[in-house]
């Protein structure tokens, strides 16, 4: 019997946690944070299932990377959440799989100049998401397997149990700064295996619970070169 697939509503705020898996920190040569940190993507970065391709920025210098992540979908306004499982259960109405697309050349330039990450993380189509995963289908968000394939080859595949800061702590941190609201999204960081994609590549991503993939969590999306917009010099 076919499941009825529900789209995510458009969020206002999309908060994305960085460096939340030790092996991913090592692969990018970054240091382990002493507390969570996050950046924001604009709502216009969201790419719904069937919403067309990921648009790779123009220019010879562009290096487009994927990062598969578990996404918490807020069910109500949450201000200064406690870092408890109960608070997380009350805050979250469901889950999704998302791909935090990143343009690494402009990210490295921003890091070198100590500038914000809003450009390198915020291009349109830079957040492909799955459908909404109902809570009952994903009862333990710290014990599921995220995976991502490029052209059929597995590139990322790890348990969310490897997170450095758990989801209650991430929700506590982000909402200690400013509230999240219903339909806002919290991306919880990516495991190891991030890497480049180029126009023509097809990315598949998803989540397995007890070894079984959830239909609601599936993403299949193609990469195409963007015709206009900001270009990254070689």
Q: Which residues contact 213 (CB under 8 A, 6 or more apart)?
A: 206, 207
Nearest in space to 49 (alpha carbons), one of 123, 125, 151: 125
Which of a copy of itself, Mg ion, none is residue 112 near (CB under 5 to 8 Å by kind)?
A: a copy of itself
Dihedral sign, CA of 51, 53, 57, 62? positive
Per DSSP, helices labelled H in 31-145 are: 85-91, 104-112, 118-121
Region binding Mg ion by CB under 5 A among candidate stretches 97-105, 106-114, 146-154, 226-234? 97-105
Examine residue 124 and tell whether it contacts a copy of itself (CB under 8 A): yes
Residue 172 or 190: which CB sits closer to Mg ion?
A: 190
Q: Which residues contact 29 (CB under 8 A, 6 or more apart)?
A: none
Which of the residues 30 through 69 are near Mg ion (CB under 5 A)? 39, 67
Which of the residues 160 through 189 are near a copy of itself (CB under 8 A)? 173, 176-181
Binding residues for Mg ion, how many (CB under 5 A)? Answer: 7
Which of the residues 49 through 88 are near a copy of itself (CB under 8 A)? 79-80
Q: Taking CA 210 as the corner, what is the angle to CA 162 and CA 128, rounded to the nearest 5 degrees?
A: 65
* Binding site residues, a copy of itself, CB under 8 A: 10-13, 15, 18, 31, 37-45, 79-80, 110-119, 122-124, 126, 173, 176-181, 228-230
């Amino acid at each position: 019997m076919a499941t009825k697939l529900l789209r995510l509503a458009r969020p206002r705020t999309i908060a994305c946690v960085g460096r939340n898996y030790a092996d991913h920190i090592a692969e990018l040569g970054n240091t382990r944070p002493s507390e969570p940190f996050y950046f924001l993507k604009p709502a216009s970065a969201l790419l719904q299932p069937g919403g067309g391709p990921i648009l790779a920025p123009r220019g010879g210098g562009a290096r487009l990377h994927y990062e598969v992540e578990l996404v918490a979908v807020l069910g109500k306004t949450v201000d200064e959440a406690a870092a408890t499982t109960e608070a997380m259960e009350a805050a979250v109405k469901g889950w999704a799989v998302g791909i935090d697309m990143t343009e690494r050349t402009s990210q490295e330039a921003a890091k070198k100049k100590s500038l914000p990450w809003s450009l390198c993380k915020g291009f349109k189509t830079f957040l492909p998401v799955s459908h909404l995963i109902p809570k009952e289908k994903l009862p333990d968000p710290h014990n599921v397997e995220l995976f991502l394939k490029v052209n059929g080859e597995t590139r990322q595949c790890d348990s969310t149990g490897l997170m450095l800061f758990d989801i209650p702590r991430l929700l506590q941190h982000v909402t200690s700064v400013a509230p999240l609201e219903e339909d806002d999204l919290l991306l919880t960081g990516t495991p190891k295996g991030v890497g480049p994609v180029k126009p023509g590549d097809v990315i598949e991503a998803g989540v397995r619970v007890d070894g079984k993939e959830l239909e609601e969590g599936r993403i299949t999306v193609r990469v195409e070169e963007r015709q206009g917009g900001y270009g990254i010099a070689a």
